[in-house]
């Protein structure tokens, strides 16, 4: 597990760096937001421990610079601010968890281990691609601004493919994820769901979003 630690207080940075190394993590440490974005452009990290109040570019700026979705690192935000609005802002900006200073090092470790156990997927509520906008919490999909009327299975299929863009899902794997492994439905029924989602997208002017990989499955690239 590789961590980028971003903290401007030298004392706290040194203490956390030592502690995280002793706990078995590989750690790079940055003292401000610009340095953090340079590390992020050059290396891949599993996690970022990110202070919000930073010189040059603050923690929100670092969050905004992260790529959306895909294999972005999980972000644990550290902040002296304990306002609910800061916490909500950080989570909305893409943070995965939030820890208010002062905290016990054991708690930081516990949160990092919890983040590692989360399934690798985008945690964002709103997923967008090529004119299609899916709001997972409002259970709503628009294509080119037109609301789409999707069945729960159609919605689940589109959400799955949008959350894991670039990943090819076999029919059996889609079936298991959107219908549950105990479902009576067959692999074949996934073709029907895909066909129907494609038709509804096409009616709204969105063609070719869901691609077929012959013999492998479906994806949104
Ligand atoms: Ca700070």
* Domain boundaries, given as residue ranges, for the chain: 2-116, 124-219
- Scanning the chain, the segments in alpha helix (DSSP H) are 10-22, 33-42, 59-65, 84-92, 105-117, 152-163, 171-179, 187-203
How remote is the CA of residue 51 from the centroid of ligand 1, in Å?
Answer: 6
pLDDT at residue 184, rounded to an integer: 64
How remote is the CA of residue 205 from the centroid of ligand 1, in Å?
Answer: 47
How remote is the CA of residue 158 from the centroid of ligand 1, in Å?
Answer: 40
pLDDT at residue 169, rounded to an integer: 87
Higher pLDDT, 80 or 17: 17
Tokens of 36: 């953090």
Residues measured by CB to lie within 5 Å of ligand 1, the ion: 8, 51, 53
pLDDT at residue 68, rounded to an integer: 62
How remote is the CA of residue 101 from the centroid of ligand 1, in Å?
Answer: 10
pLDDT at residue 92, rounded to an integer: 78
**Per-residue pLDDT tens over the stretch 166-216:** 888 888 888 877 765 445 667 788 899 999 999 999 999 999 999 999 888
**Per-residue pLDDT tens over the stretch 36-53:** 999 998 888 889 999 999
pTM: 0.56
CATH of domain 124-219: 1.10.10.10
Out of 3.30.2130.30, 1.10.443.10, 3.40.50.2300, 3.40.50.970, the CATH code matching 2-116 is 3.40.50.2300
Q: How confident is the model at residue 136 (pLDDT cuts 50, 70, 90)?
A: confident
How remote is the CA of residue 125 from the centroid of ligand 1, in Å?
Answer: 28
How remote is the CA of residue 210 from the centroid of ligand 1, in Å?
Answer: 44
pLDDT at residue 118, rounded to an integer: 64
Short-list 196, 206, 199, CA closest to 154: 196
How remote is the CA of residue 3 from the centroid of ligand 1, in Å?
Answer: 18
Short-list 218, 76, 202, CA closest to 210: 218
How remote is the CA of residue 189 from the centroid of ligand 1, in Å?
Answer: 53
**Per-residue pLDDT tens over the stretch 78-133:** 988 666 777 778 887 888 888 988 899 999 999 998 887 765 555 677 888 889 99
pLDDT at residue 176, rounded to an integer: 73
């Amino acid at each position: 597990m590789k961590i980028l630690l971003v903290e401007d207080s030298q004392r706290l940075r040194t203490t956390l760096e030592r502690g995280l190394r002793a706990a078995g993590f590989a750690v790079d440490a940055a003292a401000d937001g610009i340095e953090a974005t340079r590390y992020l452009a050059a290396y891949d990290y599993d996690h970022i421990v990110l202070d919000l109040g930073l010189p040059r570019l603050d923690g929100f700026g670092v969050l905004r610079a992260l790529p959306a979705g895909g294999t972005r690192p999980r972000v644990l935000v550290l902040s002296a601010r304990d306002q609910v609005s800061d916490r909500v802002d950080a989570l909305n900006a893409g943070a995965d968890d939030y820890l208010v200073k002062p905290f016990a090092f054991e708690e930081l470790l516990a949160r990092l281990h919890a983040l590692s156990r989360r399934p690798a997927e985008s945690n964002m509520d709103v997923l967008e691609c090529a004119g299609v906008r899916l709001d997972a919490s409002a259970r709503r999909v628009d294509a080119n601004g037109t609301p789409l009327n999707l069945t729960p299975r159609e919605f689940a299929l589109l959400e799955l493919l949008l959350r894991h863009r670039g990943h090819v899902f076999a029919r059996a794997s889609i079936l298991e994820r959107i219908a549950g492994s105990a479902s009576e439905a067959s692999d074949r029924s996934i073709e029907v769901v895909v066909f129907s989602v494609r038709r509804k997208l096409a009616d709204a002017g969105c063609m070719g979003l869901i691609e077929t990989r012959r013999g492998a499955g479906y994806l949104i690239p």
